[in-house]
Amino acid sequence: MKGANDTGYFHVCTDGRALPWMFQDERDFIAGINRIAICHLMTALEVIAFVLMDNHVHFVLYGTMPQCKAFINLYKRLTGKWIQTRYGISDYLRGLPTEILRIESEEALLNTIAYLDRNPPMAGYRYMHSEYPWGSSKFVFRATSVMDSSDSWKPASTYTRRALRSIVNSKVTIPGDWMINDSGMIHPMSFLNIKKLESCYKTPVRYAYFLAKKIEGIVEQDLQHSQKLFIPDKELRPIVRKMASEMFGTESITELDVKERLVIAKRLRYNYASTVKQISRMIHLDPSALEGYI
């Protein structure tokens, strides 16, 4: 059995049934693409494939489980901040279910990437997967690099630091050779490891074969049986003790009052996406006490 720090491929996604929307217009999607770039830079994860749908996201990432947790937690936090700033809605992503599934076999990997690429047409968009603007499929096995002729792409090095911060809403350093268009979008090929994706399929024919398969049932069944984002109790207990010590001066949860325990509960839910049952075990409170709070 692989450990948490072993590298590999992971399918990381949010629950498409949980929210009516995450992205409402082109501006939201552009900001969503830029957040992938930021999360890539801040976690050092390799982004293999992605698709942003109107109410959920999917990523295939290469790295470790802790990196994947950091990636999706950061992506949700930045998305929540964007929604609060633009739409005035606080805590919109609060409690949004997230799944991280280690991809154990080559066939599962090829199925999962194809599943991401099939998402837009399967969701009812009336054009091919390769024409969907907010996914990685349009970059796979292309004869030439994909640069929209309608947009003017310029290296990040041509922008001032202040301009870059305004474009990406972050102080993270953007590599100078990354390309940005007039709409303020970082070109996905700047952070997408398309060579690794193509090496997985080896040939366009094999890619087309997996795209033609009806794989939704296979991948969705895997997700339903996957271990969620939650880390095991054994690993979480020392984290909880450290939280209690730093915030309240004691490692003993039983010495804390209910209000203090609820503060830790909220931190566990936000930072680690722990379930209500897991949190109740960690802070020794009945799950009913957590209802409406996390």
Give me the pLDDT at residue 228, please: 46
Give me the pLDDT at residue 227, please: 45
Give me the pLDDT at residue 62, please: 97
8 Å CB contact between 247 and 263: yes
Give me the pLDDT at residue 149, please: 54
Report the distance separating Cα 67 and Cα 61, nearest Å. 9
Give me the pLDDT at residue 277, please: 81
The kind and range of the H/E element at 139 are none
Report the distance separating Cα 82 and Cα 87, nearest Å. 8
Give me the pLDDT at residue 2, please: 58
Report the distance separating Cα 154 and Cα 1, nearest Å. 46
- The residue type of 280 is S
pLDDT digits (tens, 9 = 90+) for 175-223: 999 999 999 999 999 999 999 999 999 999 999 999 988 877 777 776 6
- State which residues of the chain have pLDDT below 50: 1, 227-229
8 Å CB contact between 112 and 12: no
